[in-house]
Amino acid sequence: MYDAPPPRASGSATANAAGLVTPRSYQVWEGSNVFFLKGRFIFGPDARSLFLTMFLIIAPAAIFCVFVARKLMDKFSHHTGICIMVITVAFTLYDLCLLLLTSGRDPGIIPRNLKPPEPEDFDGSIDVGSIQTPQLRLPRMKDVIINGIIVKIKYCDTCMLYRPPRCSHCSICNNCVERFDHHCPWVGQCIGLRNYRFFYMFVFSTTLLCFYVFVFCWVYIKKIMDAEEINMWRAMAKTPASIVLIIYTFIAVWFVGGLSVFHLYLISTNQTTYENFRYRYDRRANPYNLGVVENFKEIFFTSIPPSKNNFRARVPQEQGLQPRQSAGGFMSPNMGKGVVDIEVGRKAMAWGEHEAAACFDIEAGLRNEATDDKDGSVDCSNLSRT
């Protein structure tokens, strides 16, 4: 068995005993992610939208600094004027850092299994004859008890694992993500266990930044009114940049402010966006709700677990470059990877055992909601664009 050596600082390729170059994990990654700086940063496949998001923050902040904050430096006493400028620059940089912390790190991806789990592990009553038809032995769903409430967990065909509670497969990134919240097209990354805190802080900070710019644009207009003894409209006409910024931040704050409030509600009730969309009509108890204080502690004051992936680790060539096995589990052995990657509900057709699959779903009590088989398709756009 080949052991992956610890990742090295240099990005140079190493050769194994046979003279073959062993790739790094990120080079043979099977999800749809894109990596930067040789696997040090991981983004979703839509990472390009990050540039738009950054532009939508940097551009108004720059306009504010040049056309408003710089003028306010003259209107206020020395220190106050400088403070307005420094706070704008520092807060914008802080906001961008939070954005990169949200989108550039592992959101909580569960590494794929190379082969399906052994049915024996889950079904003690398996008999020898069943080896011929292992596909009928792996249950699609399993029950686990969380805080005294039964929670169903699903088997992921793509990752070949039973998803832990709250984990879902993002159809955009093609990974199972722990405490999956949604895939945010604005940050170009899944929001999950390891970046939800930063995501919320980013959205909240952006809301504050909008308020800040909005307020000081009005302060500047008031200063012009007082200095030149003119009415508001004339003062506004003298600073078109302020008008643009007031309109821009007024519109933006409805989106980011709305999202902040929505996530404040989700945090206080310990729900993810995915759970909120999927179970909104259910009257089942939320097993994760520990009370408002504990829920907030869980999101903001617990240590974030380390990543389960080492994207820079060397992987065995045969493991990394060969297509993954698709046989086993409850899929027919001749299924290709393309079929494997289809999500759970639709895959029932590919099995050729439609009725059996339908029974599974009925037994499992699955809802035919729009989000049901589109794990990961809940995105910011469904709420309000971030």
When asked if residue 169 is in the footprint of Zn ion (CB under 5 A), the reply is yes
Q: Dig out the tokens for 154 from the structure.
A: 């699903």
Is 298 exposed, middle or buried, given 0-12, 13-18 or 19+ CB atoms closer than 10 A? middle
When asked if residue 167 is in the footprint of Zn ion (CB under 5 A), the reply is no
Q: Give the x-and-dash track for 33-52 against Zn ion (CB under 5 A).
A: -----------x--------
Smallest distance, Zn ion to C-beta of residue 183, A:
4
Smallest distance, Zn ion to C-beta of residue 237, A:
46
* Catalytic center residues: 184
Q: Which amino acid is at 77?
A: S
CB of 172 or CB of 224, closer to Zn ion: 172
DSSP per-residue codes, 315-335? --HHHHHSPPP--BTTB-TT-
When asked if residue 105 is in the footprint of Zn ion (CB under 5 A), the reply is no
- Out of 24, 166, 179, 183, the only residue in the binding site for Zn ion (CB under 5 A) is 183
Q: Dig out the tokens for 14 from the structure.
A: 């190493």
Nearest to 326 by CA among 180, 159, 198: 159
**Distances in Å between the alpha carbon of 182 and those of 65, 202, 305?**
34, 15, 19
CB of 171 or CB of 276, closer to Zn ion: 171
CA quadruple 159, 302, 39, 205: dihedral sign: positive
CB of 161 or CB of 315, closer to Zn ion: 161
**Distances in Å between the alpha carbon of 378 and those of 261, 276, 323, 383?**
18, 10, 29, 9
Smallest distance, Zn ion to C-beta of residue 33, A:
8
When asked if residue 153 is in the footprint of Zn ion (CB under 5 A), the reply is no
When asked if residue 158 is in the footprint of Zn ion (CB under 5 A), the reply is yes
- Out of 173, 252, 315, 378, the only residue in the binding site for Zn ion (CB under 5 A) is 173
Quick one: which segment of 126-134, 149-157, 343-351, 358-366 binds Zn ion (CB under 5 A)? Answer: 149-157
Smallest distance, Zn ion to C-beta of residue 150, A:
22
Distance CA 161, CA 90 (A): 44
DSSP state of 332: -
Smallest distance, Zn ion to C-beta of residue 158, A:
5
φ, ψ of residue 88 in degrees (nearest 5): -60, -50
When asked if residue 170 is in the footprint of Zn ion (CB under 5 A), the reply is yes
CB of 98 or CB of 190, closer to Zn ion: 190
When asked if residue 99 is in the footprint of Zn ion (CB under 5 A), the reply is no
Distance CA 268, CA 286 (A): 12
Query: Can you point out the beta strands (E) in the chain?
Result: 14-15, 21-22, 34-36, 41-43, 109-110, 141-146, 149-156, 161-162, 168-170, 175-177, 182-184, 189-191
- Out of 50, 109, 153, 156, the only residue in the binding site for Zn ion (CB under 5 A) is 156
CB of 32 or CB of 286, closer to Zn ion: 32
When asked if residue 371 is in the footprint of Zn ion (CB under 5 A), the reply is no
Question: Could you tell me how many residues of this chain bind Zn ion (CB under 5 A)?
Answer: 11
Residues of span 186-205 touching Zn ion by CB under 5 A: 190
Chain residues in the site for Zn ion (CB under 5 A): 44, 156, 158-159, 169-170, 172-173, 176, 183, 190
